[in-house]
Amino acid sequence: VDLLSIDSLSDGEIAEILDRANEYFAGNRGRRSSERLHGKIVFNVFYENSTRTAMSFATAAHRLGASAIALSVERSSVAKGETLEDTARTLNAMRPDALVIRHRENGAPEVVAEIMEAPVLNAGDGTNEHPTQALLDAASIRHRIGRIDGLKVAICGDIRHSRVARSNAKLLPRLGAEVRLAGPPELMPDDVPSLSIDEAIADADVVMMLRVQRERLEAELGDAPGEYLSRYGLTRDRLAMASADAVVMHPGPMNRGVEIDGGIADDPGRSLVTLQVEMGVAVRMACLELVVAGGV
């Protein structure tokens, strides 16, 4: 089985991943590893930049006894004009046990999954989905608050370009949360009713801020320094409108002083940013185990 989208996971598989991740999270703190994927080979193929996702998939593979091998795409034959399909056929011929792919085109992981015999995991495709990020966000919320059901989750910022928002908007409601999407009008998708940031944050239990993805913008935002933060970013004043013990999340990389005040991001009483990264390893261990070993 592949892990391409939140839609491709059953409710049972989601529950298994979250429970298993929780066990691995506890174990990893004591640096305990498993040999469940001993001798397996995981290919990491990232056509877009990554720090967290690439390193945590590799760490997850190693913690399960597998080896992770990264293709440095900019030094590969992709630079010589090889097509995505030909690259996939080439990698398939080496018989890896799983392939993790990030690509700037929506749907690229599906194209590769059609060709690969091994399971393919989507590590982010264009503006479409980033399913393991949503799973790690859900696991982090559950770890910190103890539940997801009944929570109000505000996801704010560049919704239009955010695969993180898209995957979370699918996953969190399946787990019983109310998701509110808000952002500057020019950064909202056309089919999503616009809510102001203040309306979304009011009484929220979780406030998830998103990076302004300037590399995907067709036109400059033209915002003056500090303007985005005061109009749409997470400031102390805005956070005060959320529920009293609301937690703050950000998938990273953060633009400090743009979508989030740096002090809030660093406030351990509020911010789950580091927890999200640590949980990312545990969730990716559970995901690799599910698709490679066929169960957790």
Q: Which of residues 166-205 bind ligand ASP (CB under 6 A)?
A: none
Q: Is the Cβ of residue 189 or residue 252 nearer to ligand ASP in the bound state?
A: 252
Q: Is the Cβ of residue 40 or residue 166 nearer to ligand ASP in the bound state?
A: 166
Q: Is the Cβ of residue 32 or residue 214 nearer to ligand ASP in the bound state?
A: 214
**Shortest distance in whole angstroms from residue 212 CB to ligand ASP:** 8
DSSP-based three-state secondary structure for 100: strand
Is there a contact between 96 and 45 (Cβ–Cβ < 8 Å)?
A: no
- Nearby residues of 124 by Cβ (< 8 Å), 6 or more positions away: 48, 50, 53, 102, 103, 130, 133, 163
DSSP-based three-state secondary structure for 176: coil
DSSP-based three-state secondary structure for 231: helix
- Nearby residues of 11 by Cβ (< 8 Å), 6 or more positions away: 174
Q: How far apart are CA 23 and CA 26, in angstroms?
A: 5
- Closest-by-Cβ residue to ligand ASP is 211
Q: Is the Cβ of residue 211 or residue 238 nearer to ligand ASP in the bound state?
A: 211
What number of chain residues touch ligand ASP (CB under 6 A)? 8
Site string for ligand ASP, 207-246 (x = CB under 6 A): ----x-x---------------------------------
**Shortest distance in whole angstroms from residue 133 CB to ligand ASP:** 6
Site string for ligand ASP, 117-146 (x = CB under 6 A): -------x-----x----------------
Q: Is the Cβ of residue 103 or residue 211 nearer to ligand ASP in the bound state?
A: 211
Q: Is the Cβ of residue 58 or residue 296 nearer to ligand ASP in the bound state?
A: 58
Site membership for ligand ASP, residue 251 (CB under 6 A) = yes
Q: How far apart are CA 15 and CA 34, in angstroms?
A: 20
Phi and psi (nearest 5°) for 178? -100, 120
DSSP class of residue 224?
Answer: P
Q: How far apart are CA 150 and CA 92, in angstroms?
A: 43
E strand spans, 120-252: 120-125, 152-156, 178-182, 206-209, 247-249
**One residue of 58, 164, 175, 177 binding ligand ASP per CB under 6 A:** 164
- Positions in the binding site for ligand ASP (CB under 6 A): 124, 130, 163-164, 211, 213, 251-252
